[in-house]
Chains A and B, each alone.
Chain A
Amino acid sequence: MATGSETTTRARVRWGLLDVLVVVFALVPVLWIASLSFKTPATLTDGKFIPREWTLDNYRTIFDTDQFVRALVNSIGIALIATLIAVVLGAMAAYAISRLDFPGKRLLVGVSLLIAMFPQVSLVSPLFEIERQLGLFDTWPGLILPYITFALPLAIYTLSAFFKQIPWDLEKAAKMDGATQGQAFRRVIAPLAAPGLFTTAILVFIFCWNDFLFAITLTSTERARTVPVALSFFTGESQFEDPTGAICAAAVVITIPIILFVLFFQRRIVSGLTSGAVKG
């Protein structure tokens, strides 16, 4: 009907405009940072959105310093390892929660929710003391462990929602076809939960990558310092140099892995992966 399509067109335009507005609002600061990172120190404060003089000096500066490169390696390593462990453990826990009825299940879910809600800042000083005693202070495991702790509830929650969507009949069918519980999980359930696994991986990775609080309290040297912290210690080559340009360049650089990570995994988040499994 004519009136019907008219309303949908109008609604589409309205929503489109709203979307553009939101995207612009979110992207302007990012573009501003990107623009600053290409400016020379002299034009840094000219207030122009598009740099009058383009330069890659800022980028050269940060990659020349060992400080930043080390931090980048730390960040990537720590975030990837923490993500991997959290997703694997979370998948197993979520599978048990969504499929099995065991005593203390509600308690387990409650406690993991509690951990997720716990204000991290109140844990920082005890963690600092504990890690110093255990010799974990300023090491990779010293950051990976708390990251896993705080990422696990998130992982368990997202993943159990995904597991619940997978028809139970598939698991029964796998068992009838001769699979053990483990084989049924690995060969039938896990591939179907892949979108959930990737979504969770993205969320956990972003959480680890962006963390500043733990990283600044539980590290002291370049051994384990991650990029967000390294950025705050940025001073430029001499103390008289204004490091704004370099900081902006570093900010742009650390955004890139996140974008790559999301783009890479987003392709795998194909909805409707379970369609065709069961009727309906």
Chain B
Amino acid sequence: MADIVLDKVSKKFPDGTVAVQDVDLEIADGEFVILVGPSGCGKSTTLNMIAGLEDISSGELRIGGQRVNDKAPRDRDIAMVFQSYALYPNMTVRENMAFPLRLAKLDKETINQKVDEAAKVLELTPLLDRKPANLSGGQRQRVAMGRAIVRQPKAFLMDEPLSNLDAKLRVQMRTVVSRLQKQLGTTTVYVTHDQTEAMTLGDRVVIMRGGAVQQVGPPQELYDHPRNLFVAGFIGSPSMNFLHAAVQDGSLRTALGDVPLGDRVRRELEAADAPRELILGIRPEHFEDAELVDEDTRRRGLEFEAPVEIVESMGSDKYVYFTVEGEKASAAELEELAADAGAADFGGAGANLVTRLSAESGVAEGQSRRVWFNLEKIHLFDPGTGRNLTLHEGRAAGALAD
């Protein structure tokens, strides 16, 4: 067991593309860290560099305090679980799991004992004599994990280990991975493109974009206090709503009405180079049916009226989709996120609003409805830099903060 430190680690390919740029990351001993981002953000390359499967172009990688830049994978004492599982098809489950131990030249008895132990933890005991071809996807995945844990390495690296499983099994395996990591207390770096996995699994999440780290923090912090537009848009499902907002006479003109600004934001906007146009971000759950809001709460927000497009009842609450007039928010980050979600050319006129209202709401499709939203929870972003203007000392304070 050991800590992993990335010190200005970069990866530049021979053709000149920079896959990873100056990544600084300190992963504590026993910590479970998730690298997440859209495809091509450099998360897998980063993992491969930690593994030793890719060379590090510049910077330093330390595992357990030791510089390992030039060490071969086998000298780093870390185990990896691959997206494809990469089981040896010519070997049985037992042989697969014993393979790293046999290479380490342990004696037969110890090997058998360790394999049996790991098999028990992962409930693989009845499958030990089968070949990978005769296993289901979930079982193969468990064997791949077994091969990693059997030799008690300094750290685990997992490269999208659950993405080949069907949805139900994935949720199940998520808890297995989580429990296993807690039980073993081994430092783990986990790569995924799925923000739900990132939110539910890790102690800390590292969000990457274009080879650079955007923000590092516990999942809840990334959710509540996104440092920039990209993080805000990437984390959360359904994702944050973004609206165009124009700065006018100390308030914001938006499709949802005029949003008053507190002193803090106003001061930010007084600067000479401050943007005149902003992007307003609100999470779906910060909307509520205006009928269900009491007087006290009402004062902390704003109300608007819009036609209801679609109502999706989830039982516990309702997802209600509105169309609001007005300009769409546009920024490079948002386009990138839409492209990653496969919805770049999808959208239609006006801005779409996703809201999450209480199940008690009597909202119906086709009608027009008054909706309230919480001004303390909104975020304002600079479309040019993507910076979150409402963030103060790492804390998002909404538009009204003084």
Contact = CB atoms under 8 A, between A and B. Distances in A.
Given A276-B132, A277-B132, A179 B84 contact: no
B78 A176 contact: yes
Interface stretch (A11-19, A138-146, A153-161, A167-175): A167-175
B103 A279 contact: no
A176 B87 contact: no
A46 B88 CA distance: 61
B140 A274 contact: no
B103 A177 contact: yes
A177 B131 contact: no
A275 interface: yes
A280 B89 contact: no
Interface in B73-96: 73-74, 78-80, 82-90
B220 interface: no
A170 B72 contact: no
Interface residues on A, range: 20 to 34
Contacts of A280: 84, 164
Contacts of B72: 175, 180
Contact of B89 (A172, A183, A274): A274
Contacts, number: 88
Contacts of B151: 178
A272 B132 CA distance: 12
Contact of A170 (B79, B88, B164): B88
B74 A273 contact: no
B134 interface: yes
A276 B87 contact: yes
A137 B162 CA distance: 63
B139 to A, nearest CB: 10
Interface string B219-230: 000000000000
A280 B72 CA distance: 29
A277 B103 contact: no
B133 A276 contact: yes
Interface of A: 167, 169-170, 172-180, 183, 187-188, 191-192, 272-280
7 contacts: A173-B82, A192-B90, A273-B90, A275-B89, A276-B89, A277-B86, A279-B137
Given A173-B86, A276-B140, 4 more contacts: A177-B79, A177-B147, A178-B103, A277-B88
